[in-house]
């Protein structure tokens, strides 16, 4: 019976239905397949999500966050990881769409006035416009730094010139040195990766 269930799970994967799939006993001699953990059951992972999918291992962590639909749409439109957008938003504004910094950054992704204008954002406090603009800017940073997530995150915080002028390393600013590990930690969490996993 277990072999039959595993065969069905493999069939789902072959059809393109990628997700982590777990198997557990139902206590009556049968088996239960699930892509979520239910309280009181022991699970064994039998299929892992496709590593090239770019999505988080635990999608519930992403879909359960505020503005999940806006972030998913911005990630898709700009070809950036939605888990990374969420990590940036959490670090930048704590999901407060009206957040403002003393330096003039505003909104969910704390866009500076010049960056907002450059990214075509007219109302920086509009969550959808702000996230789209922030995603466009993040894509620019990822492109500029050859998809090096660490450097792109550093550039998002300190500006690309601060990274480029130091030979493409994280600048030695105290704020940036705190910011980058915090964003990467949250990004790994949302992806279901260990804290020291390569990005």
Catalytic residues: 92
DSSP string across 56-69: -SSHHHHHTSTTHH
The rounded distance, in Å, linking the Cα atoms of 71 and 95 is 11
The rounded distance, in Å, linking the Cα atoms of 18 and 39 is 23
Which three-class secondary structure state does DSSP give residue 196? coil
Runs of H (alpha helix) within 46-148: 59-63, 68-78, 82-93, 113-118, 127-144
């Amino acid at each position: 019976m277990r072999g039959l269930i595993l065969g069905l799970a493999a069939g789902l994967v072959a059809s393109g239905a990628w997700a982590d799939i777990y198997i557990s006993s139902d206590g009556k001699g049968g088996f239960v397949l699930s892509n979520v953990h239910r309280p009181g059951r022991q699970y064994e992972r039998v299929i892992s999500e496709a590593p090239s999918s770019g999505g988080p291992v635990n999608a519930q962590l992403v879909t359960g966050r505020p503005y999940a639909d806006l972030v998913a749409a911005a990630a898709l439109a700009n070809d950036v990881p939605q888990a990374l957008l969420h990590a940036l938003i959490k670090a930048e504004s704590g999901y407060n769409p009206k957040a403002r910094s003393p330096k003039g950054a505003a909104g969910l992704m704390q866009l500076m006035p010049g960056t907002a204008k450059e990214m075509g954002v007219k109302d920086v406090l509009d969550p959808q416009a702000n996230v789209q603009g922030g995603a466009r800017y993040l894509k620019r940073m990822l492109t500029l730094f050859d998809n090096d997530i660490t450097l792109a995150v550093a550039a998002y915080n300190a500006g690309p010139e601060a990274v480029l002028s130091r030979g493409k390393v994280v600048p030695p600013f105290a704020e940036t040195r705190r910011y980058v590990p915090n964003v990467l930690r949250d990004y790994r969490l949302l992806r279901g990766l260990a804290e020291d996993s390569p990005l």
